[in-house]
Amino acid sequence: MNIQIPINYDPVLSVRETQEAIKYIRDTFQKEIGKELNLSRISAPLFVPRSTGFNDNLNGIERPVSFDIQEMPGERIEVVQSLAKWKRYALKKYGFKAHEGLYTNMNAIRRDELLDNLHSVYVDQWDWEKVITKKERTEETLEETVREIFKVIKHMEHEVWYKYPKAVCHLADDVFFITSQQLEDLYPELSVKDRENAIVREKKCVFIKKIGKPLQRSGKPHDGRAPDYDDWDLNGDLLFWLPSLQCALEISSMGIRVDEDSIVSQCKASHCEGRLILPYHQMVQNKELPYTIGGGIGQSRLCMLLLNKAHVGEVQASIWPQEMIDTCAKYKMILL
């Protein structure tokens, strides 16, 4: 069992109060992020046919939950692992124009996830995607969008403080940008997670850019990224400091999406050229999909951050080993 025990932990809110706070945060945040980024709410699939290539392969080793359908013989249906590719297709299908976008609730099952304070087999996040122009595929566009998201999260701190002043987690006043290579150069002897904790402990909110390519010292990427949705030169992770666990908490993974060139070069670098014949990949190569920026914002993780909870199970109903449930209860972490 991989569980971190917080020191002198006080959840402040009861389970029922926590449930009320969860609803308030979710309802308020999605309205605010929609206005800030000019996003429209749409419905999204829980599962997609494997043959479309729409499902996210994540690091390439996770096994999607799959099943068959009586009316579609020979087709394998997969529960989505994220909607990164589907959203870009939806922007085209629904006729979104430049600087317009969408957001949706994304619910996934990641059965190979290693369970701990921050990780669950159930993933719930706001997936969002926005049309940009070819000229806007720049780091400036990426950083501007990160600041807009940070602005909404910071605003949520004040909203939660007004309703739950004793429970709110006080956040940084700004976001600090650093590339994954700069971070490795800064802490060459530390592991990836220790590097993240070191920089986020100091800065309180950090966006780590350029995740996916091998780093110069270790020869390994900072973290795994599928080669066929984010452009590895124009993406990153947004992390906040979580006082309850004294560690960095990733709230969002996002980026400018691959274009007709980077999808080919990244698939080749990842030795998965076979994907390039799938319908989605063909649409990108043939310039049939809009250029976009997008990502996911963890719903339970945002609640966890704003309420300074010590286990994601305190703000999310999922499946946990009984030993973890019992241990957490001893230390005031009541898993839903």
* Measured distance CA(48)–CA(76) in Å, rounded: 9
**pLDDT for res 311:** 96
**Can you tell me whether residue 24 is helix, strand or coil?**
helix
* Measured distance CA(185)–CA(205) in Å, rounded: 19
**pLDDT for res 174:** 96
Q: What is the mean pLDDT of residues 84-101?
A: 93
**pLDDT for res 326:** 95
**pLDDT for res 80:** 84
Positions annotated as catalytic residues are 56, 110, 125, 237, 250, 253
Q: Which structure tokens are listed for 18?
A: 């926590």
Query: What's the pLDDT tens digit per position in 298-314?
Result: 999 999 999 999 999 99
Phi, psi for residue 249 in degrees, rounded to 5: -125, 115
**pLDDT for res 70:** 87
* Measured distance CA(260)–CA(290) in Å, rounded: 11
Query: What's the pLDDT tens digit per position in 11-67?
Result: 999 999 999 999 999 999 999 999 999 999 999 888 888 888 777 766 666 788 888
- Burial of residue 50 (number of CB atoms within 10 Å: 0-12, 13-18, 19+): middle
Check: CB of residue 296 under 8 Å from CB of residue 136. no
Domains and CATH numbers, the chain: 15-330 (3.30.930.10)
> In whole angstroms, how far apart are CA 77 and each of 46, 68, 138, 186, 330?
10, 6, 36, 44, 41
Could you give the percent of the chain with pLDDT greater than 90? 76
Does residue 282 register a pLDDT over 90? yes
**pLDDT for res 225:** 86
Does residue 239 register a pLDDT over 90? yes
DSSP annotation string for 262-329: HHHHHHHHTT-GGGGGSHHHHHHHTT-S--EEEEEEEHHHHHHHHTT-S-GGGSS-----HHHHHHHH
* Measured distance CA(150)–CA(156) in Å, rounded: 10
The 8-class DSSP code of residue 54 comes to: -
Going across the sheet that includes 101-109, the strands are 39-41, 101-109, 122-131, 292-298, 247-257, 230-242, 205-209, 176-179
**pLDDT for res 120:** 93
Q: Are strands 205-209 and 176-179 parallel, antiparallel or unpaired?
A: parallel
Three-state SS string across 62-116, please? CCCCEEECCCCCCCEEEECCCCHHHHHHHHHHCCCCCCCEEEEEEEEECCCCCCC
What confidence category does residue 2 fall into, taking pLDDT thresholds of 50, 70 and 90?
confident
What confidence category does residue 249 fall into, taking pLDDT thresholds of 50, 70 and 90?
very high
Longest dimension (CA), the chain: 57
Q: What is the mean pLDDT of residues 259-272?
A: 93
Q: Which of 88-97, 110-119, 271-280 has the highest mean pLDDT?
A: 88-97
* Measured distance CA(162)–CA(336) in Å, rounded: 25
